[in-house]
Structure 1
Amino acid sequence: MILLEKPITNIEHLIPQKTPFVMVDTLLGFSNTNVVSSLKVLEANIFFENKVLSESGLIENMAQTVALHTGYNYFLKGEPAPTGYIGSIKKVEISRLPQLHETIKTEAHILHEFMGVTLVEITVFNAEKEKIASSIMKTVIAN
């Protein structure tokens, strides 16, 4: 994994999602097969409920981390970020939901990528570097 010398906080041009549906706020690291993002949980987040980021919010954070990898890769080639979709999700494990003002770090490792379909293993960590969620996800780029 290559951590960026300076994290990128202006990421909305790198993903197809738009406010208020953005579930990543910083690109921390990038390589051909890995990406690291972060998200500070705020009360204004549409998936914030009962003083935590919901399970749906965590899953969307994982998917958008994958989208951030794709979008940054396209950006480096001088092309706009493509639109993509979650093709499948399996083995989702959530041990803890992040609380208000907590910053989570999401790491995605690309297992396979072929013809716009990407299989990734994703892990979410809290500020104490404890694993709080994980999944295996397949995403598909729309043509």
Structure 2
Amino acid sequence: MATQEFPITNISHLIPQKTPFVMVDTLLDFTPNKVKSSFTIQEDNLLVKDHYFLESGLIENMAQTVALHTGYDFFLRNEVAPTGYIGSIKKVEVFQLPKLHETITTEAHILHEFMGVTMVEVKAFNQNQEEIASAQMKTVIAN
């Protein structure tokens, strides 16, 4: 079984997204039921406008955090990370848009997982640990 020390900054093999559409950059923590990531918002990010990370960026960051959980879980079993899709998003709330160069942290908690379908609750936090966004997502692993 593979393992690494946290934080893990080389995560490109753990998520299906590729540059320039990567919205997570560090795996901070992992358990079978949760994952925590971080992301520093850069000027060249496609989802930055007027020095703010847009709502769509926060939602993508939350989805990629979920993908990071799946990818790392497969990595630990020495298997290739599968491609997955967002099946649904509900109860999205954005309280604050993070600014350029800010590092946000995102936590996903697995609520249910069955036959490749995962229901998660995801929350994003600013550098002051204030909740800036939340959502429930259902993700599906492609067959």
Q: Could you say which TM-score interval applies, normalised by the shorter chain? A: over 0.9
CA contact (8 A) 2:6 2:29 kept: no
Deviates more, 1:45-54 or 1:101-110: 45-54
Cα deviation code 1:4-54 (max 9, x no counterpart): 853000001000000001000000000000000000000111111111111
| 1:55 is the counterpart of 2:58 | no
SS in 2 for 1:66: helix
Gap runs ≥5 in structure 2: none
Amino acid aligned to 1:19: T
Ranges in structure 1 where 5+ consecutive residues have no aligned partner = none
Distance 2:89 2:117 in 1: 13
Q: Distance in 2 between matches of 1:130 and 1:48?
A: 20
**2:6, 2:27 within 8 Å by CA — same for their partners in 1?**
no
Q: Summarize the alignment of residues 100-119 of structure 1 with structure 2, pairs less than 5 Å apart.
A: 100-119=100-119
Q: Percent identity?
A: 69
Q: TM-score, normalised by structure 2?
A: 0.96
What does residue range 1-143 of structure 1 map to in structure 2 within 5 Å?
5-143=5-143
TM-score (norm 1): 0.96
CA-atom RMSD, angstroms?
A: 0.9
Deviating 4+ runs (over 3 angstroms) = none
